Amino acid sequence: MAKKQNAADATEQSIGNAMSRTELFFENHGKALTLGLIVLVLLGGILVGYRKLIMEPRNEKALELLAQAQIKFESPEADYELALNGDDNGAGFLEVIDRYGSTKAGNLAKHYAGICYLKAGDLENAAKYLAQYSPVKGIPGAIINAQNYGLQGDIAVDQENYAKAVKFYEKAVAAADNNVTTPLFLMKAGRAYKAMGDTAKARECFERIANSYPASTEARDTEKYINSL
């Protein structure tokens, strides 16, 4: 009985010592901890306020301006210079980039700007703006990602830099798996490999189209390209 009582007393003393140490810690550091918690709460409030009061309105305004440029870009009689630079009746992609480049709309505007420069034959600026685009997540975004890489590959082909081109085409293939863009960029990769003299890689691309995407438009020509190797 005495042993049990001694054990109980020792446990109680141990708990008491621990509580004393805890109380002493809070006594010594309580102000710092309280200040730290206040700072965290304030930072959280600032971040929420920044998103609500600054980022969301910026995104909305950027989308409005992007839509103005897209109308010019997508019209039946598309004016790519007007879509790029805008006019008194609406913004162009460059204005969206300049004012709202950090937003999602600004990111997409970089892709569009690259296409506009490409249409104008300005490969240097086309490559510059296409490279500034950051890939996005999601199925619709994946298609744009693939197109972006593919266009950069096309520019490299125009510059006869086939090694660079195949890297972009392979990224385009990996970006989106479907029956439209994937066989298209596989075909372009195969042609670029062929231009490099790498017939094994070229054959691999053409055979992948034939085996994995037989219903695609590109599949009709794979036998011709394979026989030409």
Segments making up each domain of the chain, as ranges: 34-134, 138-229
pLDDT tens for each residue of 157-200: 999 999 999 999 999 999 999 999 999 999 999 999 999 999 99
Q: What share of the chain has pLDDT > 90, as a percent?
A: 67
Domain 138-229 has CATH 1.25.40.10: yes
The 10s digit of each residue's pLDDT in 31-55 is: 554 544 544 454 444 434 434 445 5
Cα–Cα nearest to 154, from 168, 175, 142: 168
Q: How far apart are CA 77 and CA 2, in angstroms?
A: 100
Q: Report d(CA 188, CA 194) in Å as an integer.
A: 10
Q: For residue 187, give the nearest of 218, 144, 153 by alpha carbon.
A: 218
pTM of the model: 0.76
Q: Are 185 and 153 in contact (CB under 8 A)?
A: yes
- Which tens digits make up the pLDDT trace of 99-129? 999 999 999 999 999 999 999 999 999 999 9
More confident residue, 22 or 98: 98
d(CA 93, CA 106): 8
The mean pLDDT value of the chain amounts to 83
